[in-house]
């Protein structure tokens, strides 16, 4: 039990450290831009945009909030990301970390 807790804390700390490095070197911005480009290329953005429009139509323009939209489209968005995009970004992050430890 305690081990799990400890592991979780360590993970979170590691994640924070990595994120700090990413922001400092500007790599986070570059990765975001790469991800944006890839998601536009594969049509993910257009698909989700269409889905957003549908959700707005359903709920009505006057009553919709950003939180509503986020909770509706997040699961779909996550599922629709193509595997090769995920692989590519993971590869980029790994390369970045390898460089950083040198």
Partner 1 sequence: MNCNGCQHLDEFKKEHGTEPYRIIYSHFIVCKSADARRRKANQCICYVCRLYAPRLHACMSCVYIGCYGRGHIHEHAYKKEHYLAIDVCYGVIHCFACQDYVYDKELEAIARASTPKLPLGVGIKMTFLEWEPSDQEIDLLRRNSKRRRVEERSTIGLRGLINLGNTCFMNCIVQALIHTPVLRDYFLADKHNCNIHMNLNNNNQCLVCELSQIFQEFYSGIQAPHIPYRLLHLVWTSARHLAGYEQQDAHEFLIAALDLLHQHCQATNGNVESGRPHHCNCIIDQIFTGGLQSDVTCKQCNNVSTTIDPIWDVSLDLGPASPATNGSHSSSLCSGYSNSPGNYDPTSLIDCLKRFTKPEHLGSSAKIKCSCCHSYQESTKQLTMKKLPIVACFHLKRFEHSTGYHKKIATYVSFPEELDMTPFMSSSRNNNNGYSLQVVQEAARSLSCENKYSLFAVVNHSGTIECGHYTCYVRQHKDQWFKCDDHLITKAMPQEVLNSEGYLLFYHKQILEYS
Which residues make up the interface to partner 1 (CB under 8 A)? Answer: 12, 15-16, 19-26, 29-30, 33, 41, 61-62, 64-67, 88, 92
Closest C-alpha to 44, from 95, 91, 83 = 83
Contact between 100 and 92 under an 8 Å Cβ cutoff? The reply is no
Beta carbon nearer to partner 1, 9 or 54:
9
Shortest gap between Cβ of 87 and partner 1 (angstroms)? 11
Write the DSSP string, 34-53.
Answer: HHHHHHHHTTHHHHHHHHHH
Beta carbon nearer to partner 1, 28 or 47:
28
Beta carbon nearer to partner 1, 14 or 76:
14
């Amino acid at each position: 039990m305690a081990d799990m807790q400890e592991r979780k804390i360590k993970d979170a700390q590691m994640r924070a450290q990595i994120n700090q490095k990413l922001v400092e070197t500007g790599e986070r911005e570059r990765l975001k831009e790469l991800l944006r480009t890839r998601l536009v290329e594969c049509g993910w953005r257009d698909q989700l945009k269409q889905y957003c429009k549908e959700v707005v139509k359903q709920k009505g323009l006057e009553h919709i909030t950003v939180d509503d939209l986020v909770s509706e489209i997040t699961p779909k968005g996550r599922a629709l990301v193509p595997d090769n995009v995920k692989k590519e970004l993971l590869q980029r992050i790994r390369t970045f970390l390898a460089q950083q430890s040198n």
